[in-house]
Amino acid sequence: MTAGITESDLESIALSWLESLGWAVRYGPEIAPGEDFAERQDYREVVLAQRLRDALARLNPNLPDEALQEAFRKITNPEGATLVARNRALHRMLVDGVTVEYRRPDGSIAGAQARAIDFDDPENNDWLAVNQFTVSESQYTRRPDIVLFVNGLPLVVIELKNPADEEATIWTAFQQLQTYKTELPTLFAFDELLVISDGLEARLGTLTSGRERFKPWRTVSGEQIEDVGKPQLEVLLGGVFDKRHALSLLRDFIVFEDDGSGRIDKKIAGYHQFHAVQVAVAETLRAARLRHGSMGMATGAGRRPGGRPGDRRIGVVWHTQGSGKSLTMVFYAGRIVREPAMRNPTIVVLTDRNDLDDQLFATFSRCQELLRQTPV
To the nearest whole number, what is the mean pLDDT of the chain? Answer: 92
The answer, yes or no, to whether residue 55 has pLDDT greater than 50, is yes
Q: How crowded is the C-beta side of 337, counted as CA atoms within 13 Å?
A: 19
Model confidence at 88, pLDDT cuts 50, 70, 90, reads very high
Containing 127, the helix (H) or strand (E) segment is strand 127-131
Q: Report the distance separating Cα 256 and Cα 267, nearest Å.
A: 6
User: By CB neighbour count within 10 A (0-12 exposed, 13-18 middle, 19+ buried), where does 368 fall?
Assistant: middle
pLDDT in tens, 107-152: 999 999 999 999 999 999 999 999 999 999 999 999 999 999 999 9
Residue 330, amino acid: V
Give mean pLDDT, residues 271-292: 87
**304 compared with 368, residue with greater pLDDT:** 368
Q: 3-12, 152-161, 238-247: which has the minimum mean pLDDT?
A: 3-12
Q: Report the distance separating Cα 78 and Cα 144, nearest Å.
A: 22
Q: Report the distance separating Cα 197 and Cα 192, nearest Å.
A: 17
Provide the pLDDT for residue 295. Answer: 42
| Domain 7-25+129-267: CATH architecture, name and number where available | Alpha-Beta Complex (3.90)
Q: 109-123, 219-233, 243-257, 335-349: which has the minimum mean pLDDT?
A: 335-349
User: What is the DSSP code string of 32-48?
Assistant: STTSTT-S-SSTT--S-
Distant-in-sequence, close-in-space partners of 262: CB < 8 Å, separation ≥ 6: none
Q: What percent of the chain has pLDDT over 70?
A: 95
CA dihedral in degrees (76, 77, 79, 80; nearest 10)? 100
The rounded radius of gyration (Å) of the Cα atoms in the chain is 21
Provide the pLDDT for residue 297. Answer: 45
Q: Report the distance separating Cα 211 and Cα 125, nearest Å.
A: 32
pTM, whole model, 2 decimals? 0.92
Delimit the domains of the chain by residue range.
Answer: 7-25+129-267, 269-371
For residue 215, give the DSSP letter. B
